[in-house]
């Protein structure tokens, strides 16, 4: 095995995996949207996968590849079960907020208090318009259901 050539590749790939893992850690610690927290957890799994494949390449062994396949399997199971719980939590509180469940916190942990946020100056969206032609369609009664921006 040519370790002189593959050691820099191993180190660079491990660094990429470490960066992905750390960014996922920051995301899951600090974000409050439940969906974004799960995205961050998946990102940590991606970092682990990159590291495992890098070690597998370095040692010329199949173990890392096989382990990453099982990581994919467990991630799929985790996403299914977690999204069910997120939907249940949303149907109970109406929010995707982790702090909506802060009554589950420890007794000595302070309460999360939301302060008033400054309003965002949203620029109204400008869509291209066509020249009016034909009959004006009736007004859509589902108009308030359509969201203005994501």
Partner 1 sequence: MNPVSFDPLASGPLLAGAVLATVASLWLLLPNGRDTTTARWLGASLGLAALAAFIATGRRLGGLGEEAVFLIVSLVAVISAAATIVSRSPVYAAIWFALSLAGVAGVLLVLGAQFLGVATIVVYAGAILVMFLFVLMLAQPAGLASYDRVSNEPFLSALAGAVLLGVLSLSIGRLSAGPASCCDLPTRATATPLTATPSAAEGIAAPATAPVATVVDPLAENHVARLGGELFGRHLVAVEAAGVLLLVALIGAIAVVSRGEAAHAAEATTATGPAAGRSAAR
Contacts to partner 1 from residues 75-94, by CB under 8 A: 75-81, 83-88, 90-92, 94
> What phi and psi values does residue 24 have, to the nearest 5 degrees?
-65, -35
Contacts to partner 1 from residues 116-145, by CB under 8 A: 117-118, 120
Task: Specify whether the CB–CB gap between 19 and 48 falls below 8 A.
Answer: no
Q: What is the DSSP letter of 62?
A: S
Task: Specify whether the CB–CB gap between 54 and 10 falls below 8 A.
Answer: yes
Task: Determine if 105 is a binding residue for partner 1 (CB under 8 A).
Answer: no
Cα torsion 17, 20, 24, 25: sign: positive
Of the pair 94, 137, the CB lying nearest partner 1 is at 94
Task: Specify whether the CB–CB gap between 113 and 140 falls below 8 A.
Answer: no
Task: Determine if 70 is a binding residue for partner 1 (CB under 8 A).
Answer: yes
Stretch that binds partner 1, among 26-34, 126-134, 135-143 (CB under 8 A): 26-34
Of the pair 103, 129, the CB lying nearest partner 1 is at 103
Contacts to partner 1 from residues 48-67, by CB under 8 A: 49-50, 53-54, 56-62, 65-66
């Amino acid at each position: 095995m040519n370790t002189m050539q593959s050691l820099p590749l191993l180190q660079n790939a491990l660094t990429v995996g470490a960066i992905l893992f750390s960014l996922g850690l920051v995301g899951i610690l600090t974000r409050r949207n439940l969906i974004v927290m799960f995205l961050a957890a998946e990102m940590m799994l991606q970092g682990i996968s990159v590291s495992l494949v890098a070690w597998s390449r370095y040692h010329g062994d199949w173990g890392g590849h096989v382990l990453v396949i099982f990581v994919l399997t467990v991630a799929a199971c985790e996403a299914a079960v977690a999204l069910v719980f997120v939907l249940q939590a949303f149907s109970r509180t109406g929010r995707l907020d982790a702090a909506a469940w802060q009554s589950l916190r420890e007794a000595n942990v302070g309460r999360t208090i939301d302060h008033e946020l400054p309003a965002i100056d949203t620029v109204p969206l400008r869509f291209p318009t066509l020249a009016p032609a034909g009959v004006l369609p009736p007004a859509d009664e589902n108009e308030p259901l359509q969201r203005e921006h994501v």
